[in-house]
Amino acid sequence: MRVMIPAALILALSQPAIAQDWARFVSPEDGFSSNYPGQPKIETITYTSQFQQPLPAKVYRAADALGRYSTTVVDYRNIEKLHADRAAKCQAAKGANQLDGDTCQNDFRMDVAGATDYAVWNLIKQDGIKLTSYMFYFVELVSGRLLQITNADKSRTFAAVHQHAGRLYIHQATVPSGMPEPILFMQSLAWADEKGLAIRYRTMYTEGYGEWKFPSPLPPHTVRDLTTSIDGTVIRPPAR
């Protein structure tokens, strides 16, 4: 269910001058809310993860005289099974070449832990752009990254990338050269529960981790000499 809050609830003071008909849009099913200029159009796509897993995704798009706005929501919640199936299939085929022990590695954790980095990489790898700002960022204490880019044509792109509750969010806006920065859109992102209510964390939320603490207790680990295998059981011959 999607909820479009009536524009009457939005207190617009002045006559529309540049930005028009902005309203709050809530998507409980995709776990977010944001402001758009009117009702966003929704496109269903397949997003390819860093480790080449096809994932269901939706792009919420809108535009006005000032620029173009989109929120891409990628559903990672089934990715553990996708990787497990791939690894099992590889193992059943006894690997691709029988020589490389990493052939059938399950990259589930890598794919989830690196989802933000991969999304950022896709934003910054374009030719001719200048990254003018890049930093750790949070929305309602959900951690993420914020990028500000001047594109080759001098247009400006702002993008925030977050992971929350099994989904990846890429919230971005591009405005032509000379237009005001797309702050109205960028700062409107929030998280929604199944009823559409806003979620606010009391401590920093980072996907895959529990409560944020600093300094944090060390997670379970082993200690080894680097000449032994990862689990500490196999002693490798000294390097020559």
Partner 1 sequence: MRFTAFGVASLFALCLTIPVLAHHSHGNYDVSKWTVMEGTVKQVIFIVPHSIVYLDVKDDKGQPATWALEATNPQGIFLRGVKKEDVQVGDTIKVRCHLLRDGGKGCLLGFVTPIHGDKARGHGVEIEWD
By the criterion CB under 8 A, which residues form the site for partner 1? 10-19, 22, 24, 35, 132-133, 135-141, 146, 148, 156, 178-184, 187-190
CB of 41 to partner 1, least distance (A): 20
3-state DSSP assignment of residue 115: helix
Nearer to partner 1, 66 or 115 (CB): 66
Nearer to partner 1, 57 or 139 (CB): 139
Q: Cβ neighbours of residue 229 under 8 Å, at least 6 residues apart? A: 235, 236
CB of 74 to partner 1, least distance (A): 21
Q: CA gyration radius for the chain?
A: 22
Q: Cβ neighbours of residue 39 under 8 Å, at least 6 residues apart? A: 4, 23, 25, 62
CB of 201 to partner 1, least distance (A): 10
**Which tokens is 46 given?**
């397949």
Q: Measure the CA–CA gap between 108 and 77, rounded to whole angstroms.
A: 11
Angle at 209 between CA 203 and CA 210, to 5 degrees: 50
CB of 112 to partner 1, least distance (A): 22
Nearer to partner 1, 11 or 234 (CB): 11
CB of 109 to partner 1, least distance (A): 26
Cα-Cα end-to-end distance for the chain: 64
Nearer to partner 1, 110 or 141 (CB): 141
Nearer to partner 1, 141 or 165 (CB): 141
